[in-house]
Amino acid sequence: MVRFVSVFAIVILISLITNAFAQVPSDVPQNHWAYDAVELLIKEGIIKGYPDGTFRGNQNLTRYELAMIVAKLLEMIKNLGLMEKEQVTSREQAKTQQTAQSETAKLSIKRREIPSDAYTGLAIDVRGKKITRSMSPKIYDTKGREIYGASIFTKEKHSIEEYILLGIVEYIRDEGSDLKEILKNSRVGSRPLIIKAVGTHGEFGDDIIISEEDGNFILRENEVSKFLEDMAVVIVY
């Protein structure tokens, strides 16, 4: 409020008019004590000069001119408030994202001890097929048997943080690299079982179809290292 009153008082002393001016009018001497203030406010678009190019700094201020001054000041204050609000929102969003990333970093896929010759995870290759990313995709075989899905979440008592921040699968986009290179730093570990999908399914195309033979193989190998229960599953698309 004090800042607003100070600015308003300066504007009243300067006598603002109604026509936009890019430069200080010629009748304002450069050595005048208010020259810098007049120049600043003209450049900011708050004050204006007469159509004949004069400023008439000693002329009384009319109520109409006063209304123009107040309206412009209120508009500037409103815009500043909106900018500040946007900045606060941006900071809050950045803080939220940073917090989420920090929480994700704290979480990791909890793995049980795995035999040295066992598969460390499951990678489903759906490249070349239409797939929609989802929090809860399912993997079915061609007979309609569910091989993997969100039911693992309750069965293994994973935390809600793991489900929301990590998800039951990790999606990796193929950027033209070798598949083994793509999976190198993923959750499937150093010796993943790689299965090629035969198609996708579901209302949104987020479920994956594999062959019955591959489904049997996945379940058999999972008995050894429990990579499904550990959510060590990656979808490459």
CA distance linking residue 170 with residue 177, whole number of Å: 17
| Whole-number pLDDT of residue 80 | 72
The most confident of the ranges 56-65, 67-76, 125-134 is 125-134
Higher pLDDT, 159 or 232: 232
| Whole-number pLDDT of residue 97 | 62
Contacts 24+ apart (CB under 8 A), 150-154: 152/228, 152/229, 152/231
Q: What is the four-CA torsion angle of 89, 73, 46, 4, rounded to 10 degrees?
A: -100
| Whole-number pLDDT of residue 234 | 95
| pLDDT reading at 209 higher than 50 | yes
Strand order in the sheet with 121-125: 170-172, 233-236, 121-125, 192-196
**Burial status of residue 14 (CB atoms within 10 A of its CB: 0-12, 13-18, 19 or more):** buried
| Whole-number pLDDT of residue 222 | 94
| pLDDT reading at 15 higher than 60 | no
Question: Beta partners for 233?
Answer: 122
122: helix, strand or coil: strand
Mean pLDDT value across the chain? 78
Q: What is the pTM of this model?
A: 0.54
By the 8 A CB rule, do 154 and 140 touch? no
CA distance linking residue 192 with residue 1, whole number of Å: 65
